[in-house]
Structure 1
């Protein structure tokens, strides 16, 4: 079935929606403006349940804003977001964020130890969590639990932030350029972790990336935004085939 296929200024043939399971997250007509500046304009998108979806587009396309709206860190000007078919606007934001976790571009860790940082959100939510298991899940030695978070490398800190999100046992995980501050080796380790979490937990993952090579390595599905609008949705193989060439050129800023 074709998805929506145009923006106001750059018509592009969109890919076909994958025939996987029902969408975990559905975005309909989403708009967001600040001070008269429109950042998102009637965005439509579907995030397949249990898949890994990359959100791509030129700088300023609204990718990070879309993730923040899904997590209700900002409230949209218009439109609706649904989680398992239920409008998120009527949900308690804290309960929503337990179900839909968020990992940011730069890790911001709270607490005097790695253990405190991992358990920070779970303790606020009144949940029990096993820090040893969580650190092992993200590929960190549990012996690090007593270390001061700032003594870890940036790549290790990002893993701690992922463990913190997993402590809430989310159904979906939003990741806003989680590897952009990392070197190549650390970047590849996070990519492997994303694939492992998806495979082992069935976790629905949405990540923003400017790196199309990374998208090719990690994503099952690709959503393209441009100028605050949704351009189209592709399966990975289709996106990197001739059918997705114009979309890839748009991301690269080529005519």
Structure 2
């Protein structure tokens, strides 16, 4: 195995840095149709833990859990995780448990129908790009959006580094932390506006009922806006790859690359 690690792309503080491991698996077995057989997501995360953090980070398969939105975490290590694979490449991202993380990797295969469909979903006048495709997949993995509730989401204009979703979407921006929900009416998160006062469904107490306490009527704390970022990898002897990340904060990222024989 050969590989390298890049220094974090921003100032680091304890518990704030995300790690992303991109691995190339050169000798994957193939099925009878010639398609590569990739390891399971659970297996890839387990391998990446040891590669990224050392042997002490090795955990039993049962230590990796998924929540109701199918997001991975490693509670015993205080980490959230996300995984993707494309051909002989895999990508695994880890973030401190306080942050949601999503990763995706896509090659430049021709897929006109999928990109046209995604372009319509993003309200574009033209088909989406492979970069858009990867960023949307990463966003779905980090948030509790699904392909069915993605309508209304808008990606901010591309530039290097993290870009907050609300740059483009405004009031309909994708917000919400690991367990939060969006707060804008009509947002992609599917939240509903509060009913108008005087309709009988507001906060007025019924006659004889005890008024709710201030803590019960206080609005929930604001939730952070998701951020996305992407870059192009140019592996030797292979087509370019688009690597995308989504997170609920613009945390510093440390990139690792590994070549497995």
With the length of structure 1 as denominator, give the TM-score of the two structures.
0.29
When you count helix as a share of all residues, which structure comes out higher? 1
Look at both structures and tell me which one has the larger radius of gyration over its CA atoms: 2
- Greater RCO, CA 8 A, separation 6+: 1
With the length of structure 2 as denominator, give the TM-score of the two structures.
0.28
